[in-house]
Structure 1
Amino acid sequence: MNKKKTDLRILRTKQSVRKAFYELIQEKGYEAITIQDIADRAMINRNTFYLHYQNKPDLLDTCMDELLSELKKAVVLCPIHMNPFSISRLETVMKSVLEQISGNIIFYYAMLIEENRIYQFRAKMENIIKDKLNEGWDPAQGNSTLAISKELLLEYLVSAFMGIVIWWIKNDRPLPADEVSSQFSRIVTHGHLKAAGIAVEE
């Protein structure tokens, strides 16, 4: 068998294993899954699984590292603005994240939704977003004085960001990525009541 055919076979096997893994996480949770469950679902034997992964934690780490690496690359490409909390940055980062999720929706659903979610995945994803929103912050430039804690502001933005991402995944992407991103930026700019067109009494 030539190398190209062998490589394609290995790639297909890994894809089958990961697809089976994601589906099983959704169905029964990470802790309840066995190697035999994964092998049966992927239609391979246990020995084939161990040719590619040491154990279940190794498979989980590999899946998380590869997807988070792709997410980070997409986010890094978003343009840098002088103001790290600029609306255009929030909108661009949100759209990039949602588009990345769309290409790997099964994985993100397994990692982020409901009782079977993987908590360390969400924490790592939040750090990627936080680092991007904080990128370029220089107290010596622009409006460096904030009326509230910078750390609190970052936590608020990341929490709101992730809440919308999870809502979008859980509800099977009810709005296009660019529309969600635009609405998110308007909520941050004007506050949730004004953005929704609700009159606010003093």
Structure 2
Amino acid sequence: MTKIDRRILRSRESIKNAVIELMSEKKFDDITIRDISDRANVNRGTIYLHYADKYDLLDKIIEEHIGNLRELCHSASDMTFQEGNYVWFDYFAANHLFFSTMLNTKSAAYFRSRFLDLVVQEYRVEVDVNEGKNRGLSEDIILQFFGAAVVGAVEWWFKHDMPIPARTIAEQTGLLLDRNL
């Protein structure tokens, strides 16, 4: 695997941070490449060197976070929902600006949809409709119900400026999932 130059990594991080900061201030459609380059303190050409346009940039940022969440799910696969939620909510808190921006702006519906798809996909292995308390219920309804609940709880947490510690919301949502799935 080829090692990427630190300057390139710094430029990419600066560009990604700039677009997220700008999205927290104004609509994504109103953000220009010039705005991003000014905020990131890079030339416009540097942005185009790494990304086709601002949509490609946002898509790559979203993919990076979805991928990181997926990896966290896989690393926590032998944990209870409560323990696994600690890992997720620690990640959410560490990436507060991204998640609060993505879940609090109207222009971020695409991210919410991707996040819900991830949650549903990861919980699919936990749902058993052949026996136990979920016997005879629709797997799709169960997954959409709990996926929407998890995404809604995360949205609420960010919209209210994380009023309770990450560990507390992780514990409580995890307990609810453990009781019901």
TM-score w.r.t. length of structure 1: 0.77
Q: Which residue of 2 aligns with 1:85?
A: none
In structure 1, stretches of 5+ residues that fail to align are 82-87, 192-202
Look at both structures and tell me which one has the larger radius of gyration over its CA atoms.
1
Q: Which residue of 2 aligns with 1:102?
A: 93
Q: Indicate whether 1:29 and 2:27 are aligned.
A: yes
Higher helix proportion: 2
More moved, 171-180 vs 47-56: 171-180
Q: Which residue of 2 aligns with 1:78?
A: 76
Residues 129 and 138 in structure 2, CA contact (< 8 A), matched pair in contact too: no
Cα offset for 1:129?
1.2
Cα offset for 1:38?
0.5
Cα offset for 1:181?
2.2
Structure 2 CA distance for aligned equivalents of residues 136 and 184 of structure 1: 15
Q: Which residue of 2 aligns with 1:114?
A: 105
When the two structures are aligned, how many residues end up with a matched partner? 179
Structure 2 CA distance for aligned equivalents of residues 7 and 125 of structure 1: 31
1:81-125 per-position Cα deviation (integer Å, ceiling 9, x unaligned): 8xxxxxx32x23432221111221111122111334x11111111
Q: Which residue of 2 aligns with 1:125?
A: 115
Cα offset for 1:39?
0.8
Residues 71 and 97 in structure 1, CA contact (< 8 A), matched pair in contact too: yes
Percent identical among aligned pairs is 30
- Tell me the secondary structure at the aligned position of residue 174 of structure 1: coil
Choose from 38, 41, 46 the match for 2:39: 41
TM-score w.r.t. length of structure 2: 0.85
> Structure 1 residue runs of 4+, over 6 Å off?
none
Structure 1 CA distance for aligned equivalents of residues 134 and 106 of structure 2: 41
Structure 2 CA distance for aligned equivalents of residues 170 and 145 of structure 1: 32
Alpha carbons of structure 1 residues 189 and 63: separation in structure 2 relative to 1, 3 Å: closer
Alpha carbons of structure 1 residues 190 and 74: separation in structure 2 relative to 1, 3 Å: closer
Cα offset for 1:147?
5.2
- Tell me the secondary structure at the aligned position of residue 167 of structure 1: helix
In structure 2, stretches of 5+ residues that fail to align are none
**What CA RMSD, in Å, does the superposition of the two structures yield over aligned residues?**
2.7
